[in-house]
């Protein structure tokens, strides 16, 4: 697969020549950061959505773009969608804990309220997610009203399903990371192995829930401003 960035010219001020490969993380960061800087000329706050399947590299790209912008004297905060997981006690009561990570296991109403407040440049506190404890942490992220760039990363940010599609008009920049399913499968199994699960359990959890969620992200993806190869090589 050639790592190419695809752009929707209606929204995008930055263009890359046809066939230009974006095959490393640095180039991905450059592309997103440059577009954000271009928009800052006309907007006091830019809300960026980085979407993609689980283990597609969303958190890494969001963190690196935030680091680049901060280094360029542009304040930036990252808000993860994972902070809006329903608590395990609620998932147990609903009988859907085994499907944690599916669209209906998130607090989409609360997520929409926070994103709308961020869009309105209100000072908000957003939750984060501790993967090692499988736990959301309330009010762990401060988003000051004067912060010019907020990057939101998550699976379902550009997702054509009830509730989720209401997010689309709130984003100023949309990025989708595209990773082939075999690579996602390997990453997802490794993610569970890194949490001290056995190979059998790691494979079962990846194939039983994560991979179906990844397929849903691909099948119901709304158009994004940029589609980036989610298999970049880091060259720093």
Domain boundaries, the chain: 6-229
Q: pLDDT, tens digit, for every residue of 116-160?
A: 999 999 999 999 999 889 999 999 999 999 999 999 999 999 999
pLDDT at 43: 93
Binning pLDDT at 50, 70 and 90, where does residue 231 land? low
Report the run of H or E that residue 94 belongs to, with start and end. Answer: helix 88-94
Looking at residue 53, the DSSP 8-state letter turns out to be S
Cα torsion angle, 214, 218, 222, 225, sign: positive
Q: Which residues contact 18 (CB under 8 A, 6 or more apart)?
A: none
Cα torsion angle, 163, 164, 166, 170, sign: positive
Task: Average the pLDDT over 174-179 and give the result.
Answer: 95
Give the architecture-level CATH label for domain 6-229: 3-Layer(aba) Sandwich (3.40)
Distance between CA 234 and CA 185 in Å, rounded?
Answer: 21
Q: pLDDT, tens digit, for every residue of 107-120?
A: 999 999 999 999 99
Instruction: Say whether pTM exceeds 0.75.
Output: yes
Give the residue from 111, 90, 102, 137 showing the smallest Cα distance to 220.
102
Of all residues in the chain, what percent carry a pLDDT higher than 70? 87
Binning pLDDT at 50, 70 and 90, where does residue 75 land? very high
pLDDT at 210 over 50: yes
pLDDT at 206: 86
Q: pLDDT, tens digit, for every residue of 8-28?
A: 333 333 333 223 334 578 899
pLDDT at 78 over 60: yes
Distance between CA 204 and CA 189 in Å, rounded?
Answer: 9
Q: What is the three-class DSSP state of 63? A: helix
Token pair belonging to 216: 């849903």
């Amino acid at each position: 697969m050639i790592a190419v960035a695809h752009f929707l010219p209606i929204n995008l001020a930055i263009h890359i020549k046809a066939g230009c490969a974006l095959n490393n993380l640095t180039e991905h960061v450059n592309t997103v950061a440059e577009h954000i800087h271009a928009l800052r000329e006309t907007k006091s706050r830019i809300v960026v959505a980085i979407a993609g399947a689980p283990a597609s590299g969303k958190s890494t790209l969001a963190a690196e773009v935030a680091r680049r912008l901060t280094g360029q004297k542009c304040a930036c905060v990252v808000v993860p969608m994972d902070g809006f997981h329903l608590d395990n006690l609620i998932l147990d009561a609903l009988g859907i804990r085994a499907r944690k990570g599916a669209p209906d296991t998130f607090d989409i109403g609360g997520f929409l309220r926070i994103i709308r407040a961020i869009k309105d440049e209100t000072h908000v506190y957003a939750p984060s997610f501790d993967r090692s404890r499988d736990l959301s942490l309330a009010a762990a992220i401060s988003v000051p009203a004067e912060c010019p760039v907020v990057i939101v990363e998550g699976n379902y940010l550009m997702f054509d399903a009830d509730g989720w599609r209401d997010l689309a008009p709130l984003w100023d920049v949309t990025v989708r990371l595209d990773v082939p399913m075999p690579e996602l499968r390997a990453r997802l199994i490794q993610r569970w192995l890194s949490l001290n699960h056995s190979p059998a359990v790691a494979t079962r959890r990846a194939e039983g829930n994560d991979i179906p969620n990844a397929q849903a992200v691909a099948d119901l993806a709304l158009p994004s401003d940029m589609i980036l190869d989610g298999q970049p090589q880091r060259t720093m």
